[in-house]
Structures are given as structure tokens and as C-alpha cells.
């Protein structure tokens, strides 16, 4: 076996694994769309609290910027849902993948400040998937094909595998600091941040010695384990054990912290690494290998991959890539810096308004379970992941979003309470220092309405 063949063996994808990946990633897109639907008015229309981004260059021509009316945004939602279902069943698969990617980029340019690392990963995954035969197995498209092989190699497929490897490797590499390695207190601090904590994480926070042991283990797992996934398929037992470890790791993250779709998108991507032996126990198919030889596509893939994965090394050299912001919007991403430094503060929010008669009313409070909003979506807004992410982001980012949001909320409250007039309001953020067990608390005003 030549060196080229040995390298290629590390990047061979079983087309049946690719099919399971297609189904899983389509379910992630559908789940994401459904979670957004109830809040279209708030995040995507002219009646919401996100100001329109005007300096997006060519991205301003994407569909979600054509109209900010609810009906049009809802139409785009259903259009995206149709394409994601087409992707799920594998009907006109490549076309469905492309338009799912375009509509996802378009949506993200509208709600950019409420997007997280999982959204970037989803865009990147769809970008490379456009060039892959996702519909080769277990799809409507596969009925028209005569698949003589299950093993597939292409530069786009290699890029998809490397995307996951770099995604976790860079997350671990960024954590090579005393908080995670030497002191090992990163997890303990993270689990003090109640803003994102789930009940399982709250339970584990009672065992600081266990968390001190787990902190450096997570770092070394994220740095080393992704590369093990690239072992040739003949080492399938090691690869399967690593895949199972990643799935368990991602589920543990999801049950300890509110991370929205991140654990599920990562789990969907890792299914691409499933070796052929998994399927061979149930399906007997000839093991030929299909190698993608389209020269023009391969040249494009090499350029794309050089830009994407070279970005990690350029960043380490403190060199800014050209068109870096636009590239991230399109899905050219290979890095992730999830909790690379433990958070310093926990947050809580409330907005108090003063009426003309001198009465003070609370129009937003995170711990208030019985609000006086008439609109059901407003009552549940605090439980929405993207709204909480938005609040946290505008707290530490130097922007006018806090004032814009406060003005919007006051006007919306007055529209629901026609007999009341707000003369002033203050947007409070209660911050708690969580670097020490008994950290101090401080209440700050992050926006005012007069």
C-alpha cells in the first residue's frame, strides 16, 4: 500500500454512515426551525427587538432581507422546512442541501447576535455536504442509482471529517491554561453559573473534587480523541469506542448545561465516522471504493480547505484572514472556543418601569413565573435559549442593543396596557462574581428609558 493509499484510508466514508448523517442533520435543522417558529415576530420582523443590520454587503440580498413582515418570514420558515424534509428523505438531495444552507445563512444574518457556536457548526457541515452524495443510501434518490460500493473518498468528505476533528481539537487547545490544567477548577466555576445550569450540573456542582479531576481530562480528551477518529477502518474497534465516548461526552454536556442544539449537531456529525463493520452485520454489500475524480471540484475543495483549516494556524500567528467575517457567515469555520476560559460572572436580569401615577411595575424578571403579559410568547420568552443567549451577549458587548431592547419592551408593555403610561424604566443586570465560592454581587443599570 502506497503512502497515498494509507492516507486515503483514514478519510474513507461509508455511504451508509453518510446516509445516517444526512437523516440526523436534517432532524437537527427541523428541530432548530421549530424552536424558532414561535418567536419569529421577536427575532425576524420589524415588530421585534433586533435592529435591522444594514452593513452586510452582499448578504443584504439574501431572502430574509427582502421583507421583514411576519407573513414573508413565516413563508421562508416553511420553505426551509420543506427543503429540510427533502433532505431527510433524500429527494433531490443535493438541491435540498444547497437551499437549506442558503436559507440558514440568510436567517443567521438577520439574527446574528443570537447565534452561537452550534449555528456556525451547522452552516459549516451543510457547506461541505453540498459536495457529497448524501442521497446514495436510504433515500428516494437512491432508488435511481445502482450503488456498487459503499466506501467513498473525496476531498469534500475529508474536509467534513477534518471539520469535526478541528472543531473539538481547537476547543481543547484553547483550554490549555491554568484554570483547566493546573488548578483544575474550570468546571467548578462553570457549574456556579446558574444562568445556563441544568439540574444534573447543579447536582455535580456539589462534588468539587470530581470536577477538579474531570477538568484536565476533558481538555486532553478534546485534543487527542478527535484524531483517533481518523484511524483506518481496520482499527474499527478503537474507532467505535471513540465514537461512543464522544456521544456520551456530548450528551453529558447537554444534560449539565443549556447548550441548545450543540450536542445533537455534534452527535449527527460524528455518525459519519461509523465504520463499515457496523453495517456489514446487517447488510451484505460489495466493498468497492468510489473515488471522486472531478478535477475542477477537487481544485475548489483544496482552496476551500486551505482557507478553512489554515485559519487555525493563521489565528495562532495573530494574522487576520481576508474576508474572515464573511467566511464565517458562509460556514468556513474550523475553530471553536467553548468555555476556553471559565466565566467570571453569573447573570440575572429585571426591568422596572415607573408609571405616570408613580407605581412601579416589573416588566421583565427572570425568576418571575407569573408575569402580566397577555401574549403567551412573551410570558415564555425568558425560557427561550436564544433570548437568554442574546441577553448575555448584549451584557458584555459594547453596543446599543440594550437600549434598543428596552425601548421595544416598554412600547410593547404600553400597547398591552393602554390605561398605563411609562415615564421611565431601568434595565438592571445583577452580576455575581463566581470565581470564588462566596463571590460578591453587584447590580448595574445597562440601559435606561426616559
Q: Which cell goes with 197? A: 445550569
Helices marked H in 293-443 — which ranges? 295-316, 324-330, 376-379, 385-396, 401-416
| 355 is a domain residue | yes
Q: Burial, 78: exposed, middle or buried (Cβ in 10 Å; 0-12, 13-18, 19+)? A: exposed
Q: What is the pLDDT of residue 103?
A: 97
- Same domain? 135 vs 219: yes
Domain boundary among 283, 303, 330: 330
- Same domain? 325 vs 362: no
| 189 is a domain residue | yes
Q: What is the pLDDT along the chain (450 residues), one digit of tens a residue?
A: 677 778 888 899 999 999 999 999 999 999 999 999 999 999 999 899 988 777 778 888 999 999 999 999 999 999 999 999 999 999 999 999 999 999 999 999 999 888 998 999 999 999 999 999 999 999 999 887 766 678 899 888 998 999 999 899 989 998 999 999 999 999 999 999 999 999 999 999 999 999 999 999 999 999 999 999 999 988 999 999 999 999 999 999 999 999 999 999 999 999 999 998 888 876 655 556 677 666 666 666 676 677 667 666 666 556 666 677 787 788 887 677 888 888 999 988 989 999 999 999 888 887 655 566 888 888 888 888 999 999 988 887 666 889 999 999 999 999 988 888 999 999 999 999 998 888 899 999 989 998
- Same domain? 129 vs 245: yes
Phi, psi of 232 (to 5 degrees): -55, 155
Q: What is the pLDDT of residue 212?
A: 95
- Residue (of 430, 286, 319) closest to 364 by Cα position: 430
- The CA distance from 344 to 382, in Å, is 22
Distance of CA 311 to the CA centre of its chain: 19
Domain boundary among 282, 306, 330: 330
- Same domain? 325 vs 394: no
| 197 is a domain residue | yes
* pTM across the whole model: 0.92
Helix/strand/coil for 286: coil
CB 386 within 8 A of CB 41: no
- Same domain? 191 vs 290: yes
Domain boundary among 301, 330, 359: 330
- Same domain? 222 vs 358: no
| Strand-pair category, 345-355 with 360-365 | antiparallel
Domain region containing 361? 345-449
Q: Where are the beta strands (DSSP E) in 183-339?
A: 288-291
- Same domain? 294 vs 369: no
Total domains present in the chain: 2
- Residue (of 448, 362, 450, 350) closest to 403 by Cα position: 448
Amino acid at each position: 500500500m502506497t503512502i497515498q493509499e494509507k492516507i486515503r484510508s483514514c478519510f474513507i466514508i461509508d455511504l451508509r454512515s453518510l446516509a445516517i448523517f444526512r437523516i440526523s442533520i436534517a432532524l437537527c435543522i427541523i428541530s432548530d426551525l421549530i424552536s424558532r417558529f414561535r418567536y419569529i415576530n421577536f427575532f425576524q420582523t420589524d415588530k421585534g427587538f433586533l435592529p435591522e443590520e444594514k452593513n452586510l454587503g452582499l448578504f443584504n440580498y439574501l431572502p430574509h432581507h427582502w421583507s421583514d413582515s411576519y407573513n414573508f418570514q413565516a413563508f421562508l420558515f416553511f420553505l426551509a422546512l420543506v427543503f429540510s424534509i427533502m433532505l431527510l428523505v433524500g429527494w433531490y438531495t443535493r438541491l435540498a442541501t444547497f437551499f437549506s444552507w442558503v436559507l440558514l445563512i440568510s436567517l443567521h444574518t438577520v439574527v446574528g447576535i443570537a447565534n452561537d457556536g452550534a449555528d456556525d457548526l451547522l452552516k459549516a457541515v451543510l457547506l461541505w455536504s453540498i459536495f457529497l452524495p448524501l442521497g446514495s443510501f436510504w433515500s428516494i434518490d437512491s432508488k435511481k442509482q445502482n450503488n456498487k460500493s459503499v466506501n467513498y473518498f473525496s476531498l469534500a468528505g475529508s474536509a467534513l471529517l477534518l471539520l469535526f476533528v478541528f472543531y473539538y481539537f481547537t476547543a481543547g487547545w484553547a483550554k490549555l491554561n491554568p484554570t483547566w490544567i493546573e488548578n483544575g477548577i474550570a468546571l467548578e466555576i462553570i457549574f456556579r453559573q446558574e444562568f445556563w445550569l441544568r439540574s444534573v450540573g447543579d447536582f455535580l456542582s456539589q462534588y468539587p473534587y470530581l470536577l477538579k479531576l474531570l477538568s484536565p481530562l476533558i481538555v486532553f480528551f478534546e485534543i487527542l480523541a478527535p484524531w483517533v477518529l481518523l484511524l483506518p477502518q481496520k482499527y474499527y474497534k478503537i474507532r467505535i469506542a471513540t465514537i461512543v465516548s464522544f456521544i456520551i461526552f456530548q450528551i453529558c454536556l447537554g444534560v449539565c448545561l443549556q447548550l441548545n442544539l450543540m450536542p445533537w449537531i455534534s452527535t449527527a456529525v460524528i455518525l459519519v465516522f461509523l465504520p463499515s463493520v457496523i453495517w456489514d452485520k446487517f447488510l451484505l454489500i460489495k466493498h468497492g471504493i468510489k473515488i471522486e475524480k472531478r478535477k475542477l471540484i477537487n481544485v475548489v475543495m483544496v482552496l476551500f480547505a486551505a482557507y478553512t483549516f489554515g485559519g487555525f494556524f493563521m489565528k495562532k500567528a495573530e494574522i487576520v484572514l481576508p474576508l474572515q467575517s464573511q467566511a464565517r457567515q458562509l460556514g468556513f469555520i474550523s475553530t471553536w472556543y467553548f468555555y476556553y476560559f471559565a466565566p467570571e460572572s453569573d447573570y440575572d436580569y429585571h426591568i422596572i418601569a415607573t408609571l405616570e401615577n408613580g407605581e412601579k411595575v416589573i416588566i421583565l424578571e427572570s425568576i418571575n413565573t407569573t408575569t402580566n403579559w397577555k401574549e403567551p410568547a412573551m410570558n415564555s420568552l425568558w425560557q427561550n435559549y436564544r433570548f437568554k443567549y442574546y441577553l448575555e451577549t448584549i451584557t458584555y458587548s459594547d453596543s446599543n442593543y440594550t437600549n434598543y431592547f428596552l425601548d421595544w419592551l416598554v412600547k410593547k408593555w404600553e400597547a398591552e396596557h393602554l390605561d398605563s403610561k411609562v415615564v421611565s424604566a431601568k434595565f438592571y443586570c445583577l452580576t455575581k462574581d463566581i470565581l470564588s465560592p462566596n463571590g460578591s454581587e453587584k447590580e448595574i443599570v445597562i440601559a435606561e428609558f426616559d
